[in-house]
Structure 1
Amino acid sequence: MSRKPIIAGNWKMNLLQADAKALYEGIKSFVDKFDAPQLPTVIIAPVFTSLNQVAEIPCNCGCGESKLYVAAQNCHWEKSGAFTGELSVEMLKDAGCSYVIIGHSERRQYFSETDEMINKKAKAILAGGLIPIICCGETLEQRESGVTDSHIASQIRAALDGISSEDIAKSVIAYEPIWAIGTGKSCDSDEANRVIKMIRGVVAEIAGSQAADSIRILYGGSVKPATIEEQMSKSDIDGALIGGASLKADSFNDIIEKTMKVAV
């Protein structure tokens, strides 16, 4: 089936409010040239303190979509309580978010996030009416040990445990080859597509072929304007979760435009 591609920019811990506003305006000026059906699903994920500097851009063509969506970079699974420094799904929805990134390799590495925590977050996000972008991936050590597929399959099964097929179908997965991010090593598009196809197979085992055909699976390994067309030409890559190249409007807009040529 045809899946609408996603281009998502993860701004990570970057940009003060004025800079975030300027970047948002640069992206807005580009996507405003088109109706939403002409665009991929475009998502930006600023830091929490800059959520008030961005806004989703509804399309006026009657399609019911937006030209630009907003994501949070994390959430807590509880609705409220004594969880200092955390934000609930309801709070993020109130701040204008439609998506939440969870399970990012940096959260797993630096903040000891477990598969169980990511599963709780996914359930809370879906219950709150938002869409999770669930990250998975392997380290260099895991890759060299030959456990890439089994490790990622385990992450996916844990993240989706107890979630209905309907909710899985509307979720998003992002594959991050951790070993290829900022290391000088590269994950070629054929290998990325192979792993993503394997992930889709795991989803089919969990939730059935319809959910596997519907779910959008992104590639998140140092995506740049120079690489996006080849990546988007592959059968199972449905878009990209972009870090550094999303921090400049010119490069992010270039990625959007090239995706439109290849896959929209």
Structure 2
Amino acid sequence: MRRKLVAGNWKMHGMRPHLREIDAIAAAARAHPQVDALLCVPYTLIAAAADIAPDFTIGAQDVHESDQGAHTGDISAPMLVEAGAKVVIVGHSERRADHAETSHHTWAKAAAARRHGLNVILCCGETEAEHDAGRAERIVQSQIEKSLPDGAAPDWLTIAYEPRWAIGTGKTPTLDEIATMHAILRAKLRGMIGPSANEMRILYGGSVSGANAASILAVDDVDGALVGGASLTAAKFVPIIEAAAQIATGD
């Protein structure tokens, strides 16, 4: 059985006073060892967060494909490792939309992260227009096909399905829609990497909250959640961890 993973993405939020939230979230994660939990925080907080919660997984939200060079404002995988990151998000829809990143960029970033021992959460998802036009299946399959790095394996790679129109909007697909898309992704992965795809975790992301987490996490092939706004405070994030723990224990 695949372990549930609850991953938080703080995006461009968080200053040093918010470290107390990380400390509280880490404590909750320790209290529920039957699930995995992590936070991807701004670059400026990675080292401090890793210091205050050394037994909790801290990650980054992006990485450059090169190890070093004239790339103003970017950050490399070796830098993330030195800061204390253990995982990195690549291909997030906000990077694709706001920075014109392609699936090829995502592929290169995932490969760079892997070279330096970072685990990877690789995102895919369709826009609202693509969804309404009935193209969601084709879009996410294409994104996975073009983004999946060589040697993709479940011990270091996780897929996150995030319909772009559900991120931060309060909208969510129906449970049937989520189940269908996750099944499509699982089948695509099997076709690309074989039976090990059955062990690879596929997260759902997009307006996940304590109120809807239990129902979403109970859907077939949903192995956890990538959480945005609700991960910023322990009060909102811990109930999602607890929902995952209840499912893991069969309560």
User: Normalising to structure 1: TM-score of the pair?
Assistant: 0.89
Unaligned runs of 5+ in 1: 59-65
Pick from 41, 48, 60 the counterpart of residue 53 of structure 1.
Answer: 48
Structure 1 residue 193: Cα displacement? 1.6
Pick from 149, 152, 156 the counterpart of residue 170 of structure 1.
Answer: 156
Unaligned runs of 5+ in 2: none
Q: Give the whole-Å Cα distance in 2 for the aligned partners of 1:84 and 1:11.
A: 22
- Aligned partners of 1:232 and 1:263 also within 8 Å: no
Pick from 15, 22, 25 the counterpart of residue 24 of structure 1.
Answer: 22
Encode CA deviations 1:22-72: one digit per residue, 9 max, x unaligned.
1112212323435xxx331111011001112212756xxxxxxx5x21110
**One-letter amino acid matched to 1:193:** A
- Aligned partners of 1:174 and 1:220 also within 8 Å: yes
Encode CA deviations 1:54-99: one digit per residue, 9 max, x unaligned.
12756xxxxxxx5x21110000011111111111111101111111
- Aligned partners of 2:126 and 2:163 also within 8 Å: yes
Structure 1 pair 47–184 and aligned structure 2 pair: CA distance change class (3 A): closer
Partner of 1:61: none
- Aligned partners of 2:168 and 2:229 also within 8 Å: no
Partner of 1:87: 75
**One-letter amino acid matched to 2:22:** Y
- Aligned partners of 1:31 and 1:39 also within 8 Å: no
Structure 1 residue 248: Cα displacement? 1.2
SS in 1 for 2:8: strand
SS in 1 for 2:212: helix
Partner of 2:116: 128
SS in 2 for 1:43: strand
Partner of 2:7: 8
User: Normalising to structure 2: TM-score of the pair?
Assistant: 0.94
Partner of 2:66: 78
Identity of aligned residues (%): 37
Partner of 1:44: 39
SS in 2 for 1:13: coil
Structure 1 residue 169: Cα displacement? 5.7
**Superposition pairs for residues 109-258 of structure 1, below 5 Å?**
109-161=97-149, 163-165=150-152, 167=153, 170-209=156-195, 211-258=196-243
Q: Give the whole-Å Cα distance in 2 for the aligned partners of 1:197 and 1:105.
A: 20
Q: RMSD over aligned Cα, in angstroms?
A: 1.6
